[in-house]
A = this chain, B = another copy of it.
Amino acid sequence: MTADYHNPSQNSLLNALPVDEYQRLLPHLELVQMPLGKVLYESGDELHHAYFPTTCIVSKLYVMENGASAEIAVVGNDGMIGIALFMGGGSMPNRAVVRSAGYAYRLRAPLLIQEFDRSGGRRSGGLHGVLLRYTQALITQMAQMAVCNRHHSVNQQLCRWLLLTLDRLPSNEVSITQELIASMLGVRREGVTEAAGKLQKDGLIVYSRGHIRVLDRPGLEARVCECYQVVHSESSRLLSSVPPASARRTAMTPHLRAVR
């Protein structure tokens, strides 16, 4: 809620862009507030913007005919929402929901597409390369979710969920109800209550009515399944293959200038 400091380079993908592209996009990046529960797009919707989260977290949720659902990917400041825009196939059969309030920068669809195409030929460097590499990380994440759904217990999956969330948050406190977690893990609310109860009893977390505070991160890491590490390290591997342009950030504080 505090309007302290916002900058597009807080998003890893934007931060990974070469200077010229970053500058070109800057004037078109619009800072938007992302309240909990906001739906960025619904299954089948046409997308009008690409969203680059900085402090919020977005879930890609799949909702079935009977209402049952499952999270198929998490996107924080390490990614973006709207890959369908440049993949060229129109809408995707899922839903994107803000599951942790915060901010994001958004870019109008035609601009994203234009810049994506423009940087097409040059391997790796530009937006084109950055987004494709990110898409690959996303694919890995989804594959891991599929496997985790099949083979691991609710307890393990809750640990995975918490850790993936923590990675995308500045604090160690997650604001969310067990009901919502359940809908993302695709299990009953009671199952989450029970699993969370165990974690609390063992002193790894404390929680009450919509707030979970993690006390012992290493403890969670000790209980989580391998899936967490795979997603975590794959995503940082694919990002780190580009030199970060973090020097830019303090030097020009470009967004502040562009916004007012």
Residues of A within 8 A of B (CB): 60, 62, 64-65, 68, 70, 72, 83-84, 86-90, 92-94, 113, 117-118, 120-121, 123-124, 128-129, 132-133, 135-140, 142-147, 149-151, 186, 226, 230, 234, 237-238, 241
Contacts of A138 in B (CB 8 A): 139
Contact residue among B72, B94, B129, B135 (Cβ-Cβ distance under 8 Å from A135): B135
Given contacts A123-B88, A226-B65, are A72 and B143 in contact (CB under 8 A)? yes
Q: Are B62 and A133 in contact (CB under 8 A)?
A: no
Given contacts A88-B132, A93-B234, are A62 and B121 in contact (CB under 8 A)? no
Contacts of A117 in B (CB 8 A): 120-121, 123
Q: Are A133 and B64 in contact (CB under 8 A)?
A: no
Contacts of A120 in B (CB 8 A): 117, 120-121, 128
Q: Are A147 and B70 in contact (CB under 8 A)?
A: yes
Q: Are B93 and A226 in contact (CB under 8 A)?
A: no
- Give CA–CA (A237, B90) in the complex, Å: 10
Contacts of A68 in B (CB 8 A): 151
Contacts of A237 in B (CB 8 A): 89
Contact residue among B88, B118, B147, B241 (Cβ-Cβ distance under 8 Å from A72): B147
Contact residue among B64, B86, B145, B186 (Cβ-Cβ distance under 8 Å from A132): B86
Contact residue among B86, B132, B146, B234 (Cβ-Cβ distance under 8 Å from A146): B146
